[in-house]
């Protein structure tokens, strides 16, 4: 067994880890990047997460009524695979061109506080390091539903988007954001989609008006929702898999008031994602984990063992690629900067659910702002009613609404929900304004290009009340 010593060992080729590895390598430090699969260079986002799913969303939106659903889907899956292969190669090259960085393919297991063995087939390499960064990401949760184990028709999101044949019927177990995104996408490809959600309503983090508008859009696109419905078993048959369900307790006002069953060619389990820490040997290293299995870290992303850090989904923080990138900035500041940057510095972090059109939000909802004691002004308008946003009509996407929640005393934006074309871009402008104290009046009176979606702010914010 060979043993090597490095300055930095990074376990997992995700956004945060690869950024830290590249920065250390450019400083001339010896770096080992360990990734268990050549198909995951670049991390979850590029290979099985954000990039491939959003490519499929785009192609689903582009399908015309006369296009064959099966052929269009097969074309989209091929394009998605080509895109991820291209980006995977570029990510590998990003580190491979740095002389002091070595990419090692194999599974890493800790054998000491900052020491790991990497196994690939019969080969074993022991790596000890001055600093270790854990970036092993997250994986789909497999709920304990009778019939899941051994079913040939149950898939996770990773497996679903690799499927070459469009399922005529898709049952989605779980109405969280991953399940909803994929439900909307497959409905637009031409699948008959049914979503089972145990909660009494969808989009539980949103105000009722925003949640209702988003649900209505998805239903018009062909998605059937059964809320307040808890899956109780899955049974394979020749013609599909049947999911039985019952009314979930304490689910508010469900749409599935009694039990029933629904059959699909495939059943997608979309019950969330969990940190990948099992099998890493963290206990051997003395690295503590949380009750949810994440690596326990402080505000500087330091683990319980000196010199060990955790970035990205594995540390239990928000599961966004851009959070992983910001994690890398915190760790790099610890290693080579002032050591002052922390997770407490984050403010007005936006997110987007890529339905069609996308739903993007930042800050407080109206309900949360009122509950926090704010005297609020609210501006909300349907996109179809906006005269000052012709881009929506140009691109034939007038669904949705724009909603701002503003502090009545200071005039500062407390939050916004944008359910509209280009919202994944617009929300970044709002978040920047919130972080830098730009008032709602300044956003209202700003000069925006035309025709753009941003100029909708002129009209919406003029309606503050």
Annotated binding site for FAD: 54, 136-138, 313
Residues ≥6 apart with Cβ < 8 Å to 250: none
φ, ψ at 294 (rounded to 5°): -80, 155
Q: Which of 235, 300, 374, 450 is catalytic?
A: 450
φ, ψ at 461 (rounded to 5°): -75, -15
119 near 106, Cβ under 8 Å?
A: yes
Q: Residues comprising the binding site?
A: 54, 136-138, 174-181, 197, 272, 313
- Residue 28's closest CA among 338, 341, 336? 336
- Residue 132's closest CA among 287, 320, 2? 287
CA–CA gap between residue 179 and residue 345 (Å, rounded): 31
CA–CA gap between residue 232 and residue 245 (Å, rounded): 5
CA–CA gap between residue 263 and residue 168 (Å, rounded): 11
Look at the block and give the residue holding tokens 């799913």: 53
DSSP state, residue 295: B
- Residue 358's closest CA among 186, 196, 158, 218? 218
CA–CA gap between residue 406 and residue 400 (Å, rounded): 20
CA–CA gap between residue 309 and residue 296 (Å, rounded): 9
CA–CA gap between residue 313 and residue 136 (Å, rounded): 8
Is-catalytic flag, 450?
yes
Residue length of the chain: 465
Could you write out the DSSP letters of every residue in 184-196? HHHHHHT-EEEEE
Q: Residues comprising the binding site for NAD(+)?
A: 174-181, 197, 272
Q: Active-site residues: which are they?
A: 450
């Amino acid at each position: 067994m060979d043993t090597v010593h490095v300055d930095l060992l990074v376990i997992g080729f995700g956004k945060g880890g690869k950024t830290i590895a590249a920065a250390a390598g450019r400083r001339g430090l010896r770096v080992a990047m360990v990734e268990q699969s050549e198909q995951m260079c670049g991390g979850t986002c590029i290979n099985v997460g954000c990039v491939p799913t959003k490519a499929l969303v785009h192609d689903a939106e582009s399908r015309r009524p006369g296009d064959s659903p099966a052929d269009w889907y097969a074309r989209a899956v091929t394009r998605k695979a080509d895109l991820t292969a291209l980006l995977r190669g570029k990510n590998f090259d990003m580190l491979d061109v740095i002389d002091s960085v070595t990419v090692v393919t194999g599974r890493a297991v800790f054998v000491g506080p900052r020491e790991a063995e990497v196994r690939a087939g019969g080969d074993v390499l022991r790596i000890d390091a001055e600093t270790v960064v854990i970036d092993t990401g997250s994986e789909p949760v497999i709920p304990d539903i009778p019939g899941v184990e051994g079913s040939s028709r149950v898939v996770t999101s990773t497996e679903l988007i690799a499927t070459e044949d469009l399922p005529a019927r898709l049952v989605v177990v779980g109405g969280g954001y991953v399940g909803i995104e994929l439900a909307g996408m497959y409905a637009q490809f031409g699948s008959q989609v049914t979503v089972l959600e145990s909660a009494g309503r969808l989009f539980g983090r949103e105000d009722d008006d925003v949640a209702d508008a988003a649900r209505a859009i998805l239903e018009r696109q062909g998605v059937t929702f059964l809320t307040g419905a808890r899956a109780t078993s899955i049974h394979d048959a020749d013609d599909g898999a049947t999911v039985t369900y019952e009314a979930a307790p304490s689910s508010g006002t469900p749409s599935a008031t009694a039990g029933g069953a629904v059959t699909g060619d495939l059943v997608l389990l979309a019950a969330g994602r969990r940190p990948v820490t099992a099998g890493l040997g963290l206990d051997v290293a003395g690295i503590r984990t949380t009750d949810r299995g994440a690596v326990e870290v402080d505000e500087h992303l330091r683990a319980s063992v000196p010199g060990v850090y955790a970035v990205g989904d594995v540390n239990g923080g928000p599961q966004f690629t851009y959070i992983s990138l910001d994690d890398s900035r915190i760790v790099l500041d610890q290693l080579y900067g002032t050591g002052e940057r922390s997770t407490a510095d984050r403010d007005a972090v936006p997110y987007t659910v890529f339905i069609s059109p996308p739903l993007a939000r930042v800050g407080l909802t109206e309900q949360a702002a009122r509950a926090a004691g704010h005297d609020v002004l609210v501006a909300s308008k349907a996109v179809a009613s906006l005269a000052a946003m012709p881009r929506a009509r140009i691109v034939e996407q007038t669904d949705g609404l724009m909603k701002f929640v503003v502090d009545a005393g200071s005039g500062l934006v407390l939050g916004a929900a944008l359910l509209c074309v280009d919202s994944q871009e617009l929300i970044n402008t709002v978040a920047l304004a919130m972080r830098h104290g730009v008032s709602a009046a300044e956003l209202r009176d700003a000069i925006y290009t035309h025709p753009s979606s941003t100029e909708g702010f002129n009209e919406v914010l003029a309606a503050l009340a």
